[in-house]
Amino acid sequence: MEGNVGREKQKYIILGLLFMTWIINYLDKLSINIAVIPIAKEFHLNESQTGLIISVFFMSYAVMQLIGGWLSDKYGSRKVILISLLLWSVFTILTGYAWSFISLIVIRLLFGLGEGSFPAASSLALAESFPKAERGRAKSVLTSATTIGGLLSTVIAASLITTIGWRNLFHAFGVLGILMSVLLFFFLKPSVTENVKDVEQKATKVPFKKLLKMPMLWQLMIMYFGVSIVNWGLASWMPSYLVKVKHLDLVSMGAISMIPAAVGFISVLTTGWIIDKFMVGREKYLIIIGAIISGVCVYLMAHAPSIPLVITYQSINNIGALLATTTILTLPLKYFSPGTIGTAVGFMYFGGQLAGAISPSIMGFVISLFNGSYNAAFIFLMLAMIIPIITALTLRTKDSSPEVLQAQVQ
């Protein structure tokens, strides 16, 4: 009895620690979207160069997703999380010492390598600590940390840049990450709570080549690629859009951005509950509905005549986009065997970070091509949401289980 109580307490401690780490992750990662405004002025950068600074991080980040997932399955989530957090915190600090466009490119490239292992490792830590029936809610809580991190990064970055400058902003966030790694060192101790059969499955590693034969793996990666085009495109360029096109100052922009982020936070938590309670085996319908809502709202946002309407459509977009995103991110934890979760999640995140590498650069190029107009860039995002809709129509989870998926690669 005491052992069960101890395991219950430990899994929520782990969830809380990972929640805080994800918030720090997004503070470090997304602050560049605000900081790039004064950086572009200081280094005399155009929109294409600005987009490249944002995108280069995702190039190395994407590559490391694949390696990080495999490392997590091989060496365990704890080691990979600690090393990744330390590395990206160091490169966050170094970002504040950048002296040129090229130095920023190099530092952001290394930043991506350091951070790339964390998403898959954190998902594996959840799978090691929560039973399948609770993983949708646990993953939604973890995903909600990204919305809080996105909210805080905009508000805090905008405020700190105007008071202490963009360089000191990165120094402060990097130190915060190092302090968090000390806390994780002492308290992050994932333990498998599934039954004996699952533990035995965990010991059975599936070769990566065989894992690639699983149709669901590719479907998840493609869907996550599509929704991430929109998520990272808006995260990267909405601050600049609100400042340059809608003529808000940095502080006002940061404050008003809290509204869509707060709506997204509620959407993520609600989605996790819906998945676990009502949509087991029918998750693809949530993905389709969410993607349609997002695509329509991106179009409306591009043509909104006022700031209140822009924020309204952005908020509804967050409901749809995060409905699809949260569902996609939960599926590997429910339908893949424990010994493959880290690698599978890493592969899926690889698709998402490819989108992160592509989307900001394409949008920057399109905005430059149309002389500062964002309309064509928003149309690009709207069309990207067709990808998860079409792919979700082919997804079959109703009769799937870890055992069935495992058998597909035998």
Point out the least confidently predicted range of 19-23, 31-35, 172-176, 222-226.
31-35
In this prediction, residue 292 carries a pLDDT of: 94
The closest of 337, 43, 63, 35 to 205, measured between CA atoms, is 337
Tokens 């990450």 belong to 177
Which pLDDT belongs to residue 197? 42
Whether the CB-CB separation of 101 and 45 falls below 8 Å is answered with yes
**Residue 208 confidence (pLDDT):** 65
Burial grade of 45 (CB within 10 A; 0-12, 13-18, 19 or more): middle
More confident residue, 22 or 202: 22
- Between CA 247 and CA 72 the distance in angstroms is 45
Neighbours of 245 (CB within 10 A): 13
- Residues 255 and 252: their CA atoms lie apart, in Å, by 5
3-state secondary structure of 374: coil
| DSSP 8-state assignment for residue 399 | T
Q: State residue 191's pLDDT score.
A: 58
Question: What average pLDDT does range 376-398 have in this prediction?
Answer: 87
* Residue 184 reports pLDDT greater than 70: yes
Please enumerate, as own/partner, the contacts of 155-160 that have beta carbons within 8 Å and a separation of 24 or more: 155/254, 155/255, 155/257, 155/258, 156/27, 156/31, 156/254, 157/27, 157/30, 157/31, 157/34, 157/35, 157/254, 158/34, 158/250, 158/251, 158/253, 158/254, 158/255, 159/251, 159/254
Phi, psi dihedral angles at 188 (to 5 degrees): -85, 100
- Which one-letter amino acid corresponds to residue 112? G
The residue type found at 284 is K
Average pLDDT rounded to a whole number, residues 148-166 = 82
Which stretch of 24-38, 116-130, 189-203 has the lowest confidence by average pLDDT? 189-203
Q: Mean pLDDT across the stretch 314-342?
A: 83
Q: In angstroms, rounded to a whole number, what is the distance separating the alpha carbons of residues 283 and 275?
A: 7
pLDDT tens digits for range 212-257: 778 888 899 999 999 999 988 887 788 778 888 887 777 777 678 7
pLDDT digits (tens, 9 = 90+) for 300-317: 988 888 888 988 998 999
Query: Does the pLDDT at position 369 exceed 80?
Result: yes
pLDDT score, position 407:
45
pLDDT band per the 50, 70, 90 thresholds, residue 294: very high
Domains detected in the chain: 2-191+205-400 (1.20.1250.20)
Q: Which of 158-162, 218-222, 341-345, 363-367 has the weakest average pLDDT?
A: 341-345
pLDDT above 90: percentage of residues in the chain: 13
- % of the chain beyond a pLDDT of 70: 88
Structure tokens, 396: 């079959």
DSSP 42-94: HHT--HHHHHHHHHHHHHHHHHHHHHHHHHHHHH-HHHHHHHHHHHHHHHHHH
What does the alpha-carbon distance between residue 268 and residue 31 come to, in Å, rounded to a whole number?
Answer: 22
pLDDT tier at 199, thresholds 50, 70, 90: very low
| 126 has pLDDT over 60 | yes
DSSP 194: S
Mean pLDDT score across all residues of the chain: 80
Give whichever of 92-96, 271-275, 355-359, 397-401 has the largest mean pLDDT: 92-96
Q: Provide CB contacts within 8 A for 399, sequence distance 6+.
A: 281
- CB contact at 8 A, 340 and 216: no
CA neighbours within 13 Å on the CB side: how many for 154?
Answer: 26
- The average pLDDT across 361-379 equals 84
The confidence band for 198, taking pLDDT boundaries of 50, 70 and 90, is: very low
